[in-house]
Chain A
Amino acid sequence: EAGVVQSPRYKIIEKKQPVAFWCNPISGHNTLYWYLQNLGQGPELLIRYENEEAVDDSQLPKDRFSAERLKGVDSTLKIQPAELGDSAVYLCASSSRGVGSYNEQFFGPGTRLTVL
């Protein structure tokens, strides 16, 4: 079974340019997460989707960040315009609704963004 797929793996852009990241979750996983991981730190949740609905986006900087999950499968995270401080790794994860209080999150390899 394929894992969580993200693309691109690396992206280098100049500040003020737009950028988009794509995530394909594990087939059948209804919950999708986008995390931000700064260098030397742990991941921080940006947004969580249950199917196509964004149920937790309190940490998403909405002035420049946007996300969508059309049809409840693939998701795109966009930054417009990018700033130097956005340089980080953007992780996507997915999980399925199951028995118990926790559903294991499976992570993609991430997209490493460098803003010059």
Chain B
Amino acid sequence: GNSVTQMEGPVTLSEEAFLTINCTYTATGYPSLFWYVQYPGEGLQLLLKATKADDKGSNKGFEATYRKETTSFHLEKGSVQVSDSAVYFCARENNAGNMLTFGGGTRLMVKP
């Protein structure tokens, strides 16, 4: 079946540090891939997405590249801010395009 595996947290960084959160997915079909972010007390928000191999999704300084050969979609940001502290979820779409499977989430804490 479909599954998504992401690195466990928490990830604790200092402000302006480089961020990588790893995500891999099961390679059934050619799913669209997503990163969602959940700020404290809020619902999940779509951060970025990529719909085919080698696509790069980007938003708010975050980037992730759809790597078919390694079935990965790692999230990166060159310089994190305190306001980036949140839980990040990697997700893949099913082949019908109507369902998401989420990873377990990675909590990011950025210290000033």
Contact = CB atoms under 8 A, between A and B. Distances in A.
Interface of A: 3-4, 31, 40-45, 48, 56, 91, 93, 100-102, 104-110
B100 to A, nearest CB: 7
Interface of B: 4, 32, 36, 41-46, 49, 51, 89, 91, 93, 97-100, 102-105
A100 B32 CA distance: 11
Given A43-B44, A102-B49, A108-B43, A48 B103 contact: no
Given A42-B104, A45-B99, A102-B49, 7 more contacts: A3-B43, A91-B44, A101-B51, A101-B93, A102-B51, A104-B46, A109-B42
B89 A107 contact: no
A107 B98 contact: no
B11 to A, nearest CB: 14
Contact of A42 (B41, B51, B91, B99): B91
A13 B24 CA distance: 38
Contacts of B42: 109
16 contacts: A3-B43, A4-B43, A41-B104, A42-B4, A43-B100, A45-B100, A48-B99, A93-B44, A101-B51, A101-B97, A102-B32, A102-B51, A102-B93, A104-B46, A105-B46, A107-B43
A42 B6 CA distance: 10
A42 B93 contact: no
Contacts of A102: 32, 49, 51, 93, 97
A53 B100 CA distance: 19
A101 B96 CA distance: 8
Contacts of A40: 104-105
A93 B51 CA distance: 21
Given A42-B89, A102-B32, A110 B98 contact: no
A13 B105 CA distance: 27
